[in-house]
């Protein structure tokens, strides 16, 4: 497993803390090129590790695959590259994707396109409504060992309806951590994510709501605030969107019918 932290030397600190010149751990950030049948499709800045899950989760979030693909090293064994075998569900076009560690599919499509790819999420009458206290506690259940080491990684967790943690992945990019969890579920044949809860360690963007809807997860919880477009998309697709989950409190922005 690649190391997700790198040692650097501190070049200056607050005068009250004499650590100048001492080592410190920072999160590793490197590019990953995703190829499909030998053709470059996307480049993302990520924390190394779980690259196959990241590639598969990314392609699923773009509506390009709906099952686990053949994915592995490229034919030329290029460093920081992974190859996925096609065919894709649709032609992504001639345009390549570029995503930074803080931004996913910026500027690409809007609510109408998501509506084409995914219908509104159904309300499962057989499920008990979720206690607000459970939703508020999800961020505290995220296991983040690399964040504890570096302070520089985001996390996404997948939970059962009872709040049991099923999977968690960390990455310097919020979207990458999310894609790695979706890839994990895709590899195990657990998509769609019915009766599952997703929790992210940061803010709630349009792209994360889009990925949750395409994965068919009915609930998305975040530590931070949602954006206006994230709320609009969540309401349009009937996703339960909850933000500011901290200190035993949580705000419900859409899909309140699933919350007790």
What is the C-alpha to C-alpha distance for residues 6 and 29, in angstroms, rounded to an integer? 9
Annotated binding-site ranges: 244-249
Q: What is the mean pLDDT of each run of 10 residues along the chain (260 residues)?
A: 63 53 82 95 94 97 94 93 95 63 46 75 92 97 83 93 97 96 98 97 94 97 95 95 96 97
Q: Among this protein's residues, is 242 annotated catalytic?
A: no
| Model confidence, pTM | 0.88
Determine phi and psi for 233, rounding to 5 degrees.
Answer: -65, -40
Q: Which of 103, 167, 199, 242 is catalytic?
A: 103
Angle at 55 (CA atoms; ends 53, 57), nearest 5 degrees: 65
Q: Tell me what pLDDT residue 11 has.
A: 54
pLDDT at position 26 is: 87
Domains of the chain by range and CATH? Answer: 132-258 (3.40.140.10)
Query: What is the reported pLDDT for 144?
Result: 85
| C-alpha angle 25-27-34 in degrees, rounded to nearest 5 | 155
Q: What does the DSSP 8-state code read for residue 131?
A: P
């Amino acid at each position: 497993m690649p190391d997700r932290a790198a040692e650097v030397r501190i070049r200056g600190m607050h005068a009250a803390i004499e650590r100048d010149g001492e080592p410190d751990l920072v999160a590793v950030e490197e590019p990953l090129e995703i190829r499909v049948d030998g053709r470059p499709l996307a480049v993302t800045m990520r924390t190394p590790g779980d690259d196959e899950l990241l590639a598969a989760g990314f392609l699923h979030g773009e509506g390009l695959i709906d099952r686990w693909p053949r994915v592995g090293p490229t034919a030329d064994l290029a460093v920081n590259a992974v190859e996925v075998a096609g065919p894709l569900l649709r032609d992504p076009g001639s345009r390549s994707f570029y995503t930074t560690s803080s931004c996913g599919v910026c500027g690409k499509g809007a609510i109408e396109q998501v509506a084409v790819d995914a219908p509104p999420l159904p309300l499962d009458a057989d499920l008990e409504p979720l206690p607000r206290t459970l939703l508020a506690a999800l961020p505290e259940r995220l296991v983040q060992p690399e964040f504890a080491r570096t302070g520089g990684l985001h996390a996404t967790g997948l939970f059962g309806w009872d709040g049991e943690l099923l999977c968690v992945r960390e990455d310097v990019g919020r979207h990458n951590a999310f894609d790695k969890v979706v890839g994990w579920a895709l590899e195990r044949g657990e998509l769609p994510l019915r009766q599952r809860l997703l929790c992210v360690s940061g803010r709630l963007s349009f792209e994360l709501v889009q990925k949750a809807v395409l994965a068919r997860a009915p609930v998305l919880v975040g530590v931070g605030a949602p954006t206006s477009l994230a709320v609009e998309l969540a309401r349009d697709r009937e996703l339960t969107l909850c933000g500011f989950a901290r200190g035993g409190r949580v705000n419900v922005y859409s899909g309140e019918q699933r919350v007790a």
